[in-house]
Amino acid sequence: MSEDLAGLWPLFGLRVRTPRLELAVPDTPDLLNLAQASGDIQPAGEARYQKAYLYEPSPDRERHLLQRHWRALAHWRPESWDLHLAIRVGGVAIGVQNMWASNFGTVRVVETGSWITRSRQGREYGTEARAAVLEFAFAHLGALEAHTSYVDGNVASETVSRRLGYIYNGRRAYERDGVRTVEHCMLLEAATWETYRAPGISVGGITPACLELFGAA
Per-residue pLDDT of the chain (217 residues; tens, 9 = 90+): 466 889 999 999 999 999 999 999 999 999 999 999 998 887 666 656 667 778 888 999 999 999 999 999 999 999 999 999 999 999 999 999 999 999 999 999 999 999 999 999 999 999 999 999 999 999 999 999 999 999 888 888 899 999 999 999 999 998 877 889 899 999 999 999 999 999 999 999 999 999 999 999 8
Distance CA 7, CA 11 (A): 9
pLDDT at 156: 85
Structural domain of 207: 2-213
3-state secondary structure of 131: helix
Report yes or no: 47 and 122 within 8 Å, Cβ to Cβ.
no
Query: How many domains is the chain built from?
Result: 1
The CA distances from residue 169 to 132, 159, 166, 172, 188, in Å, are 22, 15, 9, 10, 9
pLDDT at 1: 47
The CA distances from residue 115 to 41, 118, 157, 204, in Å, are 8, 9, 9, 23
pLDDT at 135: 98
Distance CA 135, CA 142 (A): 10
pLDDT at 212: 97
Helix residue spans in the chain (DSSP H): 2-8, 28-37, 60-74, 104-107, 125-135, 155-163, 190-196, 208-213
The CATH number of residue 15's host domain is 3.40.630.30
Distance CA 45, CA 174 (A): 19
Report yes or no: 217 and 10 within 8 Å, Cβ to Cβ.
no
pLDDT at 80: 98
Distance CA 69, CA 211 (A): 20
